[in-house]
């Protein structure tokens, strides 16, 4: 995929998700000029992920911190560290975590929302699979997206649900010719969404 000039110097946060998907998404965004700040469950995973991405994308700007994405206090600390490390946090990619109460997540993310409001908007992409989840989890996912859209759309903060059906299968992009891995497909969808948002600004 050709370099996307629209992501140059854009600050993008990645919260949650399994290590392989996060590395793929982060590497694609970094290769297109984005400044990426990610979370990992421990120092070993964080350092390994950063080293892998920097080797894949020489000269990229990617940093991160440890965070338990099932703990609202750690989520809050993640956004605090991102605010200290980066000039303006313009986008969040959040891999939906059903073990976190929606209200707790919104409260923990308050610092990010205020920053986006102060800087005239932002893009939030929530990634989940409502078809593959239990009914209650899927309902929570959709409720979170609807709540964020209702509360923040008026501040030019755009919330998008990227729903994949299902997580576990290979996503065929051209039947009979080739298939892309789940991680690559997610990364490319995220890139398209972020570019579309930037072009609408």
Q: Residues, the chain, total?
A: 201
pTM greater than 0.75 (yes/no): yes
Residue 179: is its pLDDT beyond 50?
A: no
Print the SS3 string covering 178-198.
Answer: EEECHHHHHHHHHHHHHHHHH
Q: Provide the domain limits for residue 91.
A: 5-200
Residue the block writes with tokens 């989520």: 75
**What pLDDT is recorded for position 2?**
54
Span of 2-6, 67-71, 191-195 with lowest mean pLDDT: 2-6
CATH of the domain at 117: 3.40.50.720
DSSP β-bridge partners for residue 12: 36, 91
Helix (H, G, I), strand (E, B) or coil at 157: strand
**pLDDT tens profile 58-107:** 999 999 999 999 999 999 999 999 999 887 778 999 999 888 999 999 99
H or E stretch covering 161? strand 157-163
Beta strands of 10-90 (E only): which ranges?
11-15, 35-40, 61-66
Count of domains for the chain: 1
Residue 147: is its pLDDT beyond 70?
A: yes
* Greater pLDDT, 188 or 165: 188
């Amino acid at each position: 995929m050709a370099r996307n000039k629209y992501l140059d110097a854009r600050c993008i946060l990645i919260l949650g998700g399994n290590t392989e998907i996060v590395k793929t998404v982060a590497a694609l965004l970094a290769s297109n000029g984005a400044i990426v700040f990610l979370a990992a469950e421990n120092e070993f995973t964080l350092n390994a992920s950063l080293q892998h991405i920097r080797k894949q994308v020489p000269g990229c700007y990617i940093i991160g911190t440890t965070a338990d994405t099932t703990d609202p206090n750690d989520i809050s600390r993640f956004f605090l560290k991102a605010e200290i490390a980066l000039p303006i946090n313009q986008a969040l990619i959040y891999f939906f975590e059903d073990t976190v109460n929606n209200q707790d997540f919104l409260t923990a993310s308050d610092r990010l929302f205020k920053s986006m409001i102060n800087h005239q908007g932002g893009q939030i992409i929530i990634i989940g699979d409502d078809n593959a989840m239990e009914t209650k989890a899927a309902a929570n996912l959709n409720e979170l997206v609807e709540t964020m859209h209702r509360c923040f759309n008026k501040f030019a903060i755009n919330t998008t649900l990227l729903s994949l059906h299902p997580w576990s299968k290979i996503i065929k992009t051209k039947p009979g010719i080739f298939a892309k891995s789940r991680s690559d497909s997610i990364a490319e969808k995220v890139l398209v969404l972020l570019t579309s948002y930037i072009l609408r600004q």
